[in-house]
Homo-oligomer: A and B are copies of this chain.
Amino acid sequence: METIKDIARICGVGVSTVSRAINNHPDINPETKEMIMQVIKEHNYIPNNSARNLKRSESKAIAVLVKGITNPFFNDMIGIIEQETQRKKYSFILQRVEENENELDVAIQLVKEKKLKGIIFLGGIITHSSENFAQLDVPFVLSTSDIVNEEDNKAPLWSSVSVDDFAESYKMTDYLCKAGHRKIAIIAATKGDESIGKLRLEGYLKALGNNNIRPDKSIILHMEENKDSYSMETGYRLMKKLLKERDKFTAVYAIADSLAVGACRAITETGAVIPRDCSVAGFDGLEIGTYYNPSLTTIRQPVEELAKVTIDLLFNIIRKNGQHKKVVLPGELLVRESTREI
């Protein structure tokens, strides 16, 4: 593999001139530049990124860290963020982080390595203390998740944008109640969940309370730690279990569309018809909800807006045009075929 030196030698110029050619520097003779670029192309020379990053004090790049790429919900967001980033002439790095990995460490390392200007966290992150965040010395925004900040009065150290999971979950549950359901089962996250799973469960409980319904523990299903994920299979399996207590509920609310789909299947397999015999509702607004049969009543998260706000927020900070802030976007209750009044 050749280096910039080789190219310089071949071209009969100094390395800096080659460097200038590569990096679109203004002060270089157009002819020499063209000649150099020609040679570069012929020799398939590719600058070594490590060396560049090492030398450069800054770069125009941001990164998105996604926890568990499995969530199809993020795909659209990533697409939009990437597009928007490129429109701003920044380069975009997508970094996946393992479920058990510490995204903060990954972030800090990445910032060092790539000299990032900012970071976006997609999902995860909730369990970290603000002390840990202090080490991250570039602006960042938590998208689709936030940690509860005890000190609301102070100027926040980061931005966040998400829907109000508690309120939206309340909205869905309340809709079911108002539709006449009084026995509403829920497929929830793990018992120890401290993130959106918890919020959505709390919204459910609150709505029940306000509708004078006492929660029935036997129809509150939890995912199992280290075993279940937000998958159709999980929804299916938990629903199967629940179906043994068939007379205990008239509606099922799954805190994610993927779970809801699995639940639907389990119900349908018993010969029951949705929503005639049982209503089913989800959360997220995944594409499958539109095309599933029956189409799925759900809370749609405003994906495009979520992404747009996220990227705008970040660039505002980067360009010193604004402060960090917490943005909450409204979700949308989509009543479709899978639920009915009773």
Question: Chain B residues near A50 (CB, 8 Å)?
Answer: 49-51, 53-54, 113-114
Instruction: Quote the shortest CB–CB distance from A240 to chain B (angstroms).
Output: 12
Name the one of B46, B105, B236 contacting A112, with C-beta atoms under 8 angstroms. Answer: B46
Q: Number of residues in A with C-beta < 8 Å to the partner?
A: 42
Are A232 and B290 neighbours in the complex by a CB distance under 8 Å?
yes
Q: How far is B257's CA from A331's CA once the two chains are assembled, in angstroms?
A: 29
Closest to A46 in B: B109
Bound form: Cα–Cα A69–B72 in Å: 10
Asked if B291 contacts A261 (CB within 8 A), the reply is: yes
Mark each residue of chain A from 219 to 238: 1 if its CB lies under 8 Å from any CB of chain B, else 0: 00000000000011100100
Instruction: Indicate how many identical chains form the complex.
Output: 2
- What distance in Å separates the Cβ of A118 from its nearest Cβ neighbour in chain B? 17
- Answer yes or no: A44 CB below 8 A from chain B CBs: yes
CB A233 to nearest CB in B, in angstroms, measures 7
Is A129 close to B, CB under 8 A? no
The residues of B that contact A16 with a CB separation of less than 8 Å are: none
Question: Closest Cβ of chain B: how far from A290's Cβ, in Å?
Answer: 7
Considering only residues 283-309 of chain A, those with a C-beta below 8 Å from chain B are 287-288, 290-295
Closest chain B residue, CB of each to CB of A48: B112
CB of A75 within 8 Å of the partner chain: yes
User: CB-CB contacts of A74-104 with B at 8 A, as 1s and 0s?
Assistant: 0100110000000000000010100000000
Instruction: Decide if A155 is an interface residue (CB 8 Å cutoff).
Output: no
Contacts of A287 in B (CB 8 A): 231-233
Q: Which residue of B lies closest to A96 (CB)?
A: B94
Q: Is A135 an interface residue (CB 8 A)?
A: yes
Assembly CA distance A2 to B28 (angstroms):
36
Q: By the criterion CB–CB under 8 Å, are A293 and B293 in contact?
A: yes
Inter-chain contacts of A49 with B (CB < 8 A): 50, 109, 112-113
Residue positions of A touching B, CB distance < 8 A? 1, 44, 46, 48-51, 53-54, 69-70, 72, 75, 78-79, 94, 96, 105, 108-109, 112-114, 135, 137, 231-233, 236, 261-262, 264-265, 268, 287-288, 290-295
Query: A44-B135, A50-B53, A70-B75 are known contacts; what are 9 more A-B pairs with Cβ within 8 Å?
Result: A46-B105, A48-B113, A49-B50, A49-B113, A69-B94, A264-B291, A268-B293, A292-B293, A293-B294
